[in-house]
Amino acid sequence: MDLATIIGIISGIILFMWAIFMGGTLMAFIDIPSAMIVFGGTIAATLVNYPFSKFTSLMKIIRIVFTEKPIDAGDVIRTIISLAETARREGLLALEDAAYQLKDDFMQKGILLIVDGTDPELVKNIMETELAFLEERHSEGQGMLETMGALAPAFGLIGTIIGLINMLKNLDNPDLIGPGMAVALVTTFYGSLVANLFFIPMAGKLKVRSREEILIKEVMIEGMLSIQAGENPRIIEEKLKAFLAPASRKYVNSNKDIESGEDIA
Amino acid sequence: MDLATIIGIISGIILFMWAIFMGGTLMAFIDIPSAMIVFGGTIAATLVNYPFSKFTSLMKIIRIVFTEKPIDAGDVIRTIISLAETARREGLLALEDAAYQLKDDFMQKGILLIVDGTDPELVKNIMETELAFLEERHSEGQGMLETMGALAPAFGLIGTIIGLINMLKNLDNPDLIGPGMAVALVTTFYGSLVANLFFIPMAGKLKVRSREEILIKEVMIEGMLSIQAGENPRIIEEKLKAFLAPASRKYVNSNKDIESGEDIA
Amino acid sequence: MDLATIIGIISGIILFMWAIFMGGTLMAFIDIPSAMIVFGGTIAATLVNYPFSKFTSLMKIIRIVFTEKPIDAGDVIRTIISLAETARREGLLALEDAAYQLKDDFMQKGILLIVDGTDPELVKNIMETELAFLEERHSEGQGMLETMGALAPAFGLIGTIIGLINMLKNLDNPDLIGPGMAVALVTTFYGSLVANLFFIPMAGKLKVRSREEILIKEVMIEGMLSIQAGENPRIIEEKLKAFLAPASRKYVNSNKDIESGEDIA
Amino acid sequence: MDLATIIGIISGIILFMWAIFMGGTLMAFIDIPSAMIVFGGTIAATLVNYPFSKFTSLMKIIRIVFTEKPIDAGDVIRTIISLAETARREGLLALEDAAYQLKDDFMQKGILLIVDGTDPELVKNIMETELAFLEERHSEGQGMLETMGALAPAFGLIGTIIGLINMLKNLDNPDLIGPGMAVALVTTFYGSLVANLFFIPMAGKLKVRSREEILIKEVMIEGMLSIQAGENPRIIEEKLKAFLAPASRKYVNSNKDIESGEDIA
Amino acid sequence: MDLATIIGIISGIILFMWAIFMGGTLMAFIDIPSAMIVFGGTIAATLVNYPFSKFTSLMKIIRIVFTEKPIDAGDVIRTIISLAETARREGLLALEDAAYQLKDDFMQKGILLIVDGTDPELVKNIMETELAFLEERHSEGQGMLETMGALAPAFGLIGTIIGLINMLKNLDNPDLIGPGMAVALVTTFYGSLVANLFFIPMAGKLKVRSREEILIKEVMIEGMLSIQAGENPRIIEEKLKAFLAPASRKYVNSNKDIESGEDIA
């Protein structure tokens, strides 16, 4: 549950409803045809831009923005150190049982490759290829939301121009100019608001989440290769902690003292 | 047949025709001189920007956006594994017959180079050069559509300024100001709509298709080099699956169980 | 204390208050609902864009813009040369005491790794990983301020459109058009001013400070690796001074003559 | 003679003259002071931006956009294969005569370096340095046209603001407002039109031409290094054809059958 | 003395004064408060963005735009060839005297390192580090001018919004609307003009000058390493001329014939 996303969206919606009520009525801002121009146009252009298979994954992508709980880097490091200790005491083959208890598919795959006696270069190759394509898939999701964030204001503007042309063509009654322009501006309002409150910041959240996940997976790769190389667990810890912010490092230490490496999770 | 492109464009056109009918008449939005300024100007500037040989390939590029059916990565991986098994059983020379049955020119060329006993470094060099220039040719097609997507709104604006100047010069009858501005705005409408519904999303679709094709070809190169190196088919499968999304990987497995590597296609 | 930031912000605020007083009253520019739309909208969208943990570090990031005092590169170089001399005279183990007197955590960690007899490749690896992630954390802070610098004018514009729609819907009294538009424009004023006087330049200051800190840490890594390699202090000085602007180099020399390398700080 | 550039520019000019005649008189769009503001301002700022030596090469750069005839890659490949055959039959020294008959300076220089017995690494180094700086000089030409394409609309806007200020200061006669604004808008029209019909697409054409030339020179470098290494002409052909689009490759083959490698050009 | 900068700025100022006189009076464009908003705001935000040490170097940076005389690449190449000949005839130690006569500090430092018998890898390392940081310092200067070029129009717009709000709040006398808007627009005029005639093109000139200086220094590094490696002066000339445009190369040759390498400058 990503509380920041939910609080941001709910507080943003309340804020703009309040802002509208302050100076007018909500009805002036609800216009079904305007909504159809902005959202319909954005969806139509997004379909031109992306294949169905990507477009239908949009809901799944948006769900990540609301729900993704980041993996704790400290947990990962402690797990790796614990695995390294097992490997040094009992050999690499002893990691097989531990591997099946790992919750993370990426790490499980890596450890099983090591247990199989795969060449270290090949393990590195496979894990880094997987990470590179994970990164690319993530950036496609961001790209779709960024595209929608650029299209929505554009279709908002197109809707306003349609409204202006219609209004200007029928300029018989000057009293209708004001309300006509008001309606025309509603599409610009819709397009700018969904882009700046939803699409663009959601793409940003995906990017932050993606970077966190990639950092964790880089720690995993570095750790697994060190385990395969039979490095000293203390050296491994030193190497992996360099990936973290100084604040997070202390957390790794303190927990380790308490739980003494028993948490293979 | 790229259904998403076709549905996107048709639904976009219907949407904007409906939006126009809602508030006015279609006639207010049909203006031949405006269309000529926007489309003529965009085509003229595109001719300044690109040589004829590139410009005439525009129709071919746009056709890709409507028709391209992506190659299935799972099929490619199964084909490579099947070739790898043949190579291990009967030697690299046995791949010649299989090569002539391959539908993909890129893979056929690679396998034939291998059968010819070409040095692995040279095979890699040739295939990667070909891929690099394929990527550059693709990005030129995208570039042309992106250029047109930037030019169309610019000429829309220029058309509106021409309309405004003409209107302002002849301000005798104030009743004509409104309709005059309406006509002037039609060019901006044309330019923004074609850019945001056609040119820019089409460039985006080309980019997605190009990335898919390049990914497939990277899988092919990696696979063919592994075949040449005489690697174990199981290891090759493991390596190639790292290129795919986890969901696509399962599909590779399930099909393999059913079809057991007979589909050299 | 970063005087430039403080003088810039205070003089900017005085300037715009004076500019407002010149042509009108301050009251015309103070509007609580407008402020809530711009700042509330910016904060809501920033929460959608960043997780809580990053958002709450915003205050800490802004504090850096006001307080960060850069480390002097000359001091660092003199310290490294002094350590190099100690290492050559008394061996690498003799650096342990000096290490505990170093104020900089990064350098202390590196020297202790060297004293522990860590492999030079691993020392380099650990220090560079740490530097790379420091750089990434810095760029996240800048990114947040840049995001806010892009969101604030966008929400300013959205607020102005809300104001315009409300005004145009109620066009009964033409005398209210002017003041209504004035109020609508206040949100654009707020959004543009905070973006251009605060958010964007603060992101810029963070970037400058980050580059300075990274340069210093690159000097430290280069210096520590040279110490571990047992290089001649004179060569080390020559190498490290290449990182500095010619003006700063003379400063290193002149101070060194006076203080003759005693300042392990 | 680059027909696309010439047709694009002439058709663009005719189009906009026609568009102007449709709705008004050409006189409304001819205004010497407006032209001076836009073109004079653009030239003045370009002089601030570029040294005289670069600025005076502008005419030469623009001439390339109109005249450059691209070298045919097929010809280059056939020439290289023919040279490779000579080298294999008669030795590298036999290339000296052929070199003096080459029309291309770049290739001539490379072949002469090879004939001189220069170290292959050094040949590669020299040719690639030359190519890198050719690329940089090309991108400077593009950069100047892009800069002018950004400056022209900016000075168009500045001219319009000057016109608006002058008009608003002298608002005695409301009948003059319209014509005054019309004149003010002419600078925006000039700036947008020259940027979008001339400067920006010309920079684009230069980029396309530059990429073509660099591709040809990359083929040349690859080919010359292969000749020096004494590679098989058939392998060289295979390697070089990887640089081309599949369509161009067939052309290389068909011509080769007819002309059988006699065209050292 | 950079004549292009001076002619560009003077002709630009004369042009815009003439343009203003054509259609109105200069007085309409001189407004001290407007100037203070634009320039004061830009300076305040620049102080927030850059530390004092960088900001105070602004005048020095601007002086470069007016005065920098580029070093001639031909002179540098001739000097290097002359040094190479000396080194081959009399040994590397004989370069010490010549080094002290070199006007260029960068080259002097490199030659002295060579004379000292420094390891070639270390010479390369030191010279390239110095070049990398020179490039970064240059790009900081450009960055400051580009930042000011982005801030000035932004504060111009903010000033116009302040003027509009003040005017709209006091709409008692419709006769004052025109002059009020005229004054409000003056800040936009100031901001756009200084950005497009001064700040942005000056940043561009700095970039051109920086590239020239870096190219020269790359030639120097390549040349000095070749001298140290004891390469043949003719080969060195061939290598270094690859850095130059073909036109400049002939100039190197022709001068060399006349002056026969005596100009160690």
CA dihedral over B118, B119, B120, B121, signed as positive or negative: negative
Please write the tens of the pLDDT for every residue from A220-231: 999 999 999 988
Give the mean model confidence (pLDDT) for residues B81-92. 90
Per-residue pLDDT band at A261 (split at 50, 70, 90): very low
Give the mean model confidence (pLDDT) for residues D62-86. 85
Read off the amino acid at residue C191: G
pLDDT score of C3: 86
Range scoring the smallest mean pLDDT among B90-99, B156-165, D67-76: D67-76
- With contact defined as 3+ CB pairs under 8 Å, the chains touching D are B, E
Between A174 and D97, residue with greater pLDDT: D97
> Using the beta-carbon criterion (under 8 Å), do B166 and D28 form an inter-chain contact?
yes
Residue matched to tokens 């831009």 = A49
Please give the radius of gyration of chain C, using alpha carbons only, rounded to the nearest integer: 26
Nearest CB to C52: which of A4, A11, A239? A4
E57: helix, strand or coil: coil
Residue matched to tokens 């009020």 = E180
Asked if A37 reaches chain B (Cβ–Cβ under 8 Å), the answer is yes
Asked if D185 reaches chain B (Cβ–Cβ under 8 Å), the answer is yes
Per-residue pLDDT for D252 more than 80?
A: no
Asked if A147 reaches chain B (Cβ–Cβ under 8 Å), the answer is yes
Asked if B19 reaches chain A (Cβ–Cβ under 8 Å), the answer is yes
pLDDT score of E145: 96
Residues in chain C with CB shorter than 8 Å from the CB of A19 are: 33, 36-37, 159, 162
Instruction: Tell me if E165 sits within 8 A of C28, measured CB to CB.
Output: yes
> Using the beta-carbon criterion (under 8 Å), do A192 and C147 form an inter-chain contact?
no
Q: Which of E2, E197, E236, E253 has the highest number of chain D CBs within 10 A, making it the mutation to test binding with D? A: E197
Per-residue pLDDT for E263 more than 70?
A: no
Residues in chain B with CB shorter than 8 Å from the CB of D234 are: none
Asked if C37 reaches chain A (Cβ–Cβ under 8 Å), the answer is yes
- Rounded to 5 degrees, φ, ψ at C152 are -60, -50
Residues in chain D with CB shorter than 8 Å from the CB of B164 are: 181-182, 185
Q: Closest Cα of chain E to D36: distance in Å?
A: 8
Rounded to two decimals, the pTM is 0.89
> Using the beta-carbon criterion (under 8 Å), do E65 and D47 form an inter-chain contact?
no
Per-residue pLDDT band at D181 (split at 50, 70, 90): confident
Per-residue pLDDT band at C8 (split at 50, 70, 90): very high
For chain A, how long is the longest CA-to-CA vector? Answer: 91
Residues in chain D with CB shorter than 8 Å from the CB of B169 are: 24-25, 28, 178-179, 182
The rounded distance, in Å, linking the Cα atoms of E186 and B250 is 66
Asked if D253 reaches chain B (Cβ–Cβ under 8 Å), the answer is no
> Using the beta-carbon criterion (under 8 Å), do C196 and E147 form an inter-chain contact?
no
Token pair belonging to C29: 């520019």
Range scoring the smallest mean pLDDT among A83-97, A185-199, C178-192, E251-265: E251-265
User: Measuring CA to CA, which residue among C112, C74, C72, C75 is closest to residue C92?
Assistant: C112
Scanning B24-104, the segments in alpha helix (DSSP H) are 32-35, 41-49, 52-55, 58-67, 73-90, 95-101
Range scoring the smallest mean pLDDT among B85-94, C192-201, D61-70, E228-237: D61-70
> Using the beta-carbon criterion (under 8 Å), do B4 and A45 form an inter-chain contact?
no
pLDDT score of C261: 37
> What does the CA dihedral E181, E187, E188, E193 come to, rounded to 10 degrees?
140
pLDDT score of E265: 35
Per-residue pLDDT for D201 more than 60?
A: yes
pLDDT score of D58: 87
Cβ-based contacts under 8 A for chains A and B: 151
Burial zone of C7 (CB within 10 Å; 0-12 exposed, 13-18 middle, 19+ buried): middle
CB proximity under 8 Å: B 59-98 to A: 65, 70
Please write the tens of the pLDDT for every residue from A202-215: 999 999 989 888 98
Across chain A, mean pLDDT equals 86
Q: At what angle do helices D200-228 and D58-67 cross, to 10 degrees?
A: 80
Read off the amino acid at residue B55: F
User: Measuring CA to CA, which residue among E235, E248, E242, E247 is closest to residue E219?
Assistant: E242
Per-residue pLDDT band at D43 (split at 50, 70, 90): very high
Residues in chain D with CB shorter than 8 Å from the CB of E208 are: 49-51, 54, 140
Per-residue pLDDT band at D197 (split at 50, 70, 90): very high
CB atoms within 10 A of CB C22: 15
Across chain D, mean pLDDT equals 86
Helix (H) or strand (E) holding E130: helix E120-169
> Using the beta-carbon criterion (under 8 Å), do B208 and A49 form an inter-chain contact?
yes
Answer whether E touches C (≥3 Cβ pairs < 8 Å): yes
The rounded distance, in Å, linking the Cα atoms of B213 and B207 is 10
- With contact defined as 3+ CB pairs under 8 Å, the chains touching E are C, D
Token pair belonging to A184: 């025309």
CB atoms within 10 A of CB A67: 11
Token pair belonging to D215: 């591709």
pLDDT score of D259: 38
Per-residue pLDDT band at C239 (split at 50, 70, 90): confident
Per-residue pLDDT for C176 more than 90?
A: no
> Using the beta-carbon criterion (under 8 Å), do C204 and E157 form an inter-chain contact?
no
Per-residue pLDDT for C170 more than 90?
A: no
Per-residue pLDDT for A35 more than 90?
A: yes
Please write the tens of the pLDDT for every residue from E204-228: 999 998 988 898 999 999 999 999 9
The rounded distance, in Å, linking the Cα atoms of B31 and C184 is 35
Give the mean model confidence (pLDDT) for residues E150-158. 97
Instruction: Tell me if B222 sits within 8 A of B240, measured CB to CB.
Output: yes
Q: At what angle do helices D41-49 and D120-169 cross, to 10 degrees?
A: 140
* % chain E with pLDDT above 90: 43
* % chain B with pLDDT above 90: 42
Nearest CB to B161: which of D4, D15, D192? D192
Residues in chain C with CB shorter than 8 Å from the CB of E158 are: 16, 189, 192-193, 196
* % chain B with pLDDT above 70: 91
The rounded distance, in Å, linking the Cα atoms of B39 and B45 is 10
Per-residue pLDDT for D71 more than 80?
A: no
Give the mean model confidence (pLDDT) for residues A124-152. 91
Residues in chain A with CB shorter than 8 Å from the CB of C127 are: 242
> Using the beta-carbon criterion (under 8 Å), do C49 and A205 form an inter-chain contact?
yes
The rounded distance, in Å, linking the Cα atoms of A183 and A167 is 10
Q: Which of E39, E46, E47 has the highest number of chain C CBs within 10 A, making it the mutation to test binding with C? A: E47
CA dihedral over C224, C230, C231, C234, signed as positive or negative: positive
Across chain E, mean pLDDT equals 86
Nearest CB to D178: which of B44, B52, B168? B168
Q: Which of E13, E22, E160 has the highest number of chain D CBs within 10 A, making it the mutation to test binding with D? A: E22
The rounded distance, in Å, linking the Cα atoms of B171 and B169 is 6
Per-residue pLDDT for D22 more than 60?
A: yes
Burial zone of A237 (CB within 10 Å; 0-12 exposed, 13-18 middle, 19+ buried): buried
Q: At what angle do helices E73-90 and E105-115 cross, to 10 degrees?
A: 20
> Using the beta-carbon criterion (under 8 Å), do A47 and B7 form an inter-chain contact?
yes
Q: Which of E34, E37, E42, E49 has the highest number of chain C CBs within 10 A, making it the mutation to test binding with C? A: E49
pLDDT score of A253: 56
- With contact defined as 3+ CB pairs under 8 Å, the chains touching B are A, D
Q: Which residues contact C52 (CB under 8 A, 6 or more apart)?
A: A3, A4
> What does the CA dihedral A76, A77, A78, A82 come to, rounded to 10 degrees?
100
> Using the beta-carbon criterion (under 8 Å), do C170 and A201 form an inter-chain contact?
no
Cβ-based contacts under 8 A for chains B and D: 150
Give the mean model confidence (pLDDT) for residues A118-136. 89
Read off the amino acid at residue C152: A
Cβ-based contacts under 8 A for chains A and C: 150
- Give the Å distances, CA to CA, from D76 to A114, B128, B133, D44, D229: 50, 21, 17, 43, 18
Between D150 and D170, residue with greater pLDDT: D150
Give the mean model confidence (pLDDT) for residues B99-111. 89
Per-residue pLDDT band at A60 (split at 50, 70, 90): confident
The rounded distance, in Å, linking the Cα atoms of C246 and E53 is 15
Read off the amino acid at residue B225: L
B196: helix, strand or coil: helix
CB atoms within 10 A of CB E253: 11
Per-residue pLDDT for D261 more than 90?
A: no
Give the mean model confidence (pLDDT) for residues D90-116. 89
Instruction: Tell me if B15 sits within 8 A of A41, measured CB to CB.
Output: yes
Q: Closest Cα of chain B to D246: distance in Å?
A: 9
Q: Which residues contact A186 (CB under 8 A, 6 or more apart)?
A: A28, A29, A31, A34, A159, C165
Range scoring the smallest mean pLDDT among A243-247, D136-140, E20-24: A243-247
Residues in chain C with CB shorter than 8 Å from the CB of E147 are: 201, 204
| Minimum Cα–Cα distance from A239: chain C residue | C126
CB proximity under 8 Å: D 100-139 to B: none
Please write the tens of the pLDDT for every residue from E46-99: 999 999 888 888 888 888 888 867 778 888 999 999 999 999 898 888 889 888
Per-residue pLDDT for A265 more than 70?
A: no
Bin C30: left if φ > 0, else alpha if -120 < ψ < 50, else beta: beta
Range scoring the smallest mean pLDDT among A247-261, C158-172, C223-237, D153-167: A247-261
User: Measuring CA to CA, which residue among B142, C128, D107, E205 is closest to residue A222?
Assistant: C128
Instruction: Tell me if C183 sits within 8 A of C31, measured CB to CB.
Output: yes
Please write the tens of the pLDDT for every residue from B106-157: 999 999 999 988 889 989 988 998 898 888 888 889 999 999 999 999 999 9
Count how many Cα atoms sit within 13 Å of the Cα of residue E76 in the half-sphere of its side chain.
Answer: 27
Q: Closest Cα of chain A to B114: distance in Å?
A: 22
- Give exposure, C219-248, as e/b (b: 16+ Cβ within 10 Å): bbbbbbbbbbeebebebbbbbbbbbbbeee
CA dihedral over E246, E251, E252, E254, signed as positive or negative: positive
Scanning D119-176, the segments in alpha helix (DSSP H) are 120-169
